[in-house]
Amino acid sequence: MKNLHPESVLAAQVSNGNTPSLQYLFFDRDKIIYEFNEGSADLSNGMKADKDTVFPVFSVTKTFTAISILQLAGKGLVDLNYPVNRYLPELKMEQGTTVKHLLTHTSGLSNPLPIIWIHSANEHTKFNRDEFFNPVLAKSIKGKQPAGTNFRYSNLGYVILGMVVEKVTGAKYEEYVTGNILSNLDLQQDVIGFDIPAGAKYATGYHNTRNISMLLISMLLNTSKYMGTSTGKWKPFKPVYVNGTSYGGLIANAYGMVKYARALLDRDNMILNEDLRNQMFTENILAGGRNTGMCLSWYTGRLGDQTYFTHAGGGGGFYCEIRLYPGIASGSFVIFNRSGFSDERFLNNVDKYFLV
């Protein structure tokens, strides 16, 4: 391993005002190799970001949804190549759209603006997910392109995959993931779940009011309901839940995410057997040999000599990335408490210091 350290890259994110706080970890299957925590998890009270800070991981949740589907496939309850209509005939999807199309974002479904798919924490116990998504699905269920012809990222596809999990198992999506994935992670004091933990150091997410995207947020959201009073250039989001748990509902701390990543680095783990794990990390190729860069929910790429699998999670107030390097049995995780709406591949800037 190179005798270099990424402090300058990481610290600059806070000192240059790109984020109120940042956490980064690089790890292998046995230990944390490097950890960095800096900045304020809450600017109003000065709470520092540390290993106990809890935050939403948004779209990283999709990888848990994919694992759920693969587990069910391993039990013979779901076939990835079967039409979605076999499991959810009431949706009346295009006949050729399969479960695998949803997993690989090649279903042709659109991606309506997910930033408005939220509800406040005090509305959570009364929120009815089906009541919200039924009209959305009715409007958007017809694909914009034929299934399997192009890569088109869709949160809506993972809403449907969550529905498949519930239909096949008879359990709520959250119950299935908790009982079949999270319970196998030996979390102890670490956090991964679907509810904001009472008394936890829950981070405040912020948006830069000097960014032009603030104008778009102001047009789309009721900012008086979902956001608080600015501290300098940073306008805080109040605690919210996303409406579609299966595409973005998980809440965790960094060490909890490391436990999850370590389980996937281990070929002999309690979550997926080796065959299913290999399926999950196989890149999907379109007709004519066109690469998509997407496996079954995980993106793939290369940094230096190492192949990696990754997923970003972002939205109003937060942005994170998780990454696995199976070739060296290592991984990384980074979280910012500022908005992020695209796959930034920030980890390329930092992980390179730790690759052999």
Bridge partners for 36 per DSSP: 24
Can you say how many angstroms the Cα of residue 47 is from the centroid of all Cα atoms in its chain? 25
The pLDDT score that the predictor gives to residue 300 is: 98
Which residue stretches of 141-273 are H helix? 155-169, 173-180, 213-220, 223-226, 245-248, 254-265
What confidence tens digit (pLDDT) does each residue in 161-220 have?
Answer: 999 999 999 999 999 999 999 999 989 889 999 999 888 799 999 999 999 999 999 999
The pLDDT score that the predictor gives to residue 345 is: 98
The pLDDT score that the predictor gives to residue 5 is: 77
The pLDDT score that the predictor gives to residue 356 is: 66
Mean pLDDT of 74-78: 98
Would the pLDDT of 3 be above 90? no
What confidence tens digit (pLDDT) does each residue in 123-170 have?
Answer: 999 999 999 999 999 999 987 788 999 999 999 999 999 999 999 999
CB atoms within 10 A of CB 124: 14
pLDDT confidence bin for 2, thresholds 50/70/90: very low
- Between CA 122 and CA 111 the distance in angstroms is 27
Mean pLDDT of 331-353: 97
The pLDDT score that the predictor gives to residue 200 is: 78
Kindly write down the DSSP assignment for every residue of 37-80, as one continuous string. Answer: EEEEEETTTTEEP-TTEEEE-GGGHHHHHHHHHHHHHHTTS--T
- Between CA 78 and CA 182 the distance in angstroms is 21
What confidence tens digit (pLDDT) does each residue in 9-21 have?
Answer: 999 999 999 999 9
Cβ neighbors of 127 (< 8 A, separation 6 or more) are 119, 241, 243
> Domains in the chain, start-ordered, CATH in brackets?
7-351 (3.40.710.10)
For residue 209, give both structure tokens. 């009011």
The pLDDT score that the predictor gives to residue 112 is: 87
Rg (CA), the chain: 20
What confidence tens digit (pLDDT) does each residue in 61-71 have?
Answer: 999 999 999 99
Would the pLDDT of 343 be above 50? yes
